[in-house]
Amino acid sequence: MVEKNSAILAVETSCDETAAAVVVGGQEVLSNVVASQDELHGKYGGVVPEIASRAHIERINPVIRRALEQAGISPSGLAAIAVTNRPGLIGSLLIGVSAAKTLAWAWQKPLIDIDHVQAHIYAAQLGRERAWAFPAVALVVSGGHTSLYHCRDPLDIELLGQTTDDAAGEAFDKVASILKLGYPGGPIIDRLSRQGNPQAIKFPRSWLGKGSLDFSFSGIKTAVLYHVRGQDARSRQVNLDETSRADIAASFQQAVVDVLVGKTILALQQQGLSRVILGGGVSANSTLRQGMAEACREAGAELFLALPAYCTDNAAMVAGLAYHKLRAGLRADLGLTGRA
């Protein structure tokens, strides 16, 4: 049952999305406003921190105002203000933290600090009337993170493994750049892969040591580069037809998904759990969602997927997790700062 007077306004500016949301009771999303910066960073092939922070300054107030208007709530109806303060781009984080601290002080509301990655784990609880997802093994896979966790509850989270180099989402962006597909690379490769053969090219799967729950995606990125340009990877000449591009994209994507799914099921077995949570921007990938669902069925595990609206960076997941911190009495003071 949703508790009355438990509406939380959250702000998220950890990277290049300016977001604000109002969530009641940790699950009922009243508003979820996201201002994307893809058009600003696309020509550079990735996020430019200085551009991101300047755009946050311009957009933060209108985004917060719109979130309150869509939720139909006034400051007096809020229980707390939440904000992502770690990890992320330090310039971007400080814009959101400064805004949230100002509102908490002006409106005399509790301030709650939120870990961005933990919020991605919680995103699978939003907008659904389903069984409780915890305890579980959680895979968070995005442009900046590829990590496995043992989640005893929303606030008790233990890191099991993480990437030793590139995050999966970063590898998607770099491969899209190699294939001259555009930015952001993840959605483009996902769409193009549907036209290709995922078995056309045997790209390597990096499993690391026996029983390892860590990830490495630099090798497959290099394998794609050499496949496209030959051993002289300095060459800028890329002459591929659409069929070749689709086959490379599909084969690359399948190799990444195989590792993500395989290590998640290994973690599930090692921890003796029966639930899997999948979150982060790359969790919107159709092949990953399908592959994880099939693997969980075979393992007899229940899968909790974030709805598409809550896969990429958003503030609803921040507000949802903040509800549990508020109930636990975990609050921040006005000295809060961002941590990269």
DSSP assignment letter at 139: E
pTM of the model: 0.91
Q: Residues near 253 by Cβ (< 8 Å), separated by ≥ 6?
A: 172, 189, 190, 193, 198, 285, 287
Write down the residue that tokens 């998904």 correspond to.
Answer: 257
Instruction: Please tell me the CATH code under which domain 7-127+312-327 is placed.
Output: 3.30.420.40
Cα separations in angstroms, 339 against 87, 91, 116: 6, 10, 11
Q: What is the pLDDT of residues 245-285, one digit of tens each?
A: 999 999 999 999 999 999 999 999 999 999 999 999 999 99
Count other C-beta atoms under 10 Å from residue 96's C-beta.
Answer: 27
Q: Which long-range contacts (CB under 8 A, 24 or more apart) does 169-174 make?
A: 169/141, 169/142, 169/143, 169/144, 169/280, 169/281, 169/282, 170/143, 170/144, 170/217, 171/217, 171/218, 171/220, 171/221, 171/256, 172/143, 172/253, 172/256, 172/282, 173/45, 173/46, 173/143, 174/221
Helix pair 49-71, 90-107: axis angle to 10 deg: 30
Secondary-structure class of domain 136-306 per CATH: alpha beta
The DSSP result for 166-225, as a single string, is --HHHHHHHHHHHTT--SSHHHHHHHHHTTS-TTSS-------STT---B--HHHHHHHH
CB 215, CB 263: distance < 8 Å: yes
Q: How many CA atoms lie within 13 A of 10 on its CB side?
A: 39
- With a cut of 70, list the residues of the chain below it in pLDDT: 1-4, 130-131, 231-238
- Two tokens, residue 42: 């696309």
Strand pairing of 28-35 and 136-141? unpaired
* Domain boundary assignment for the chain: 7-127+312-327, 136-306
pLDDT at 230: 80
H or E element: which one contains 30?
strand 28-35
Domains 7-127+312-327 and 136-306 share a fold: yes
Which residue(s) pair with 302 in the sheet?
Answer: 275
Write down the residue that tokens 């971007």 correspond to.
Answer: 92
Query: Rounded distance, CA 121 to CA 332, Å?
Result: 21
Count other C-beta atoms under 10 Å from residue 231's C-beta.
Answer: 7
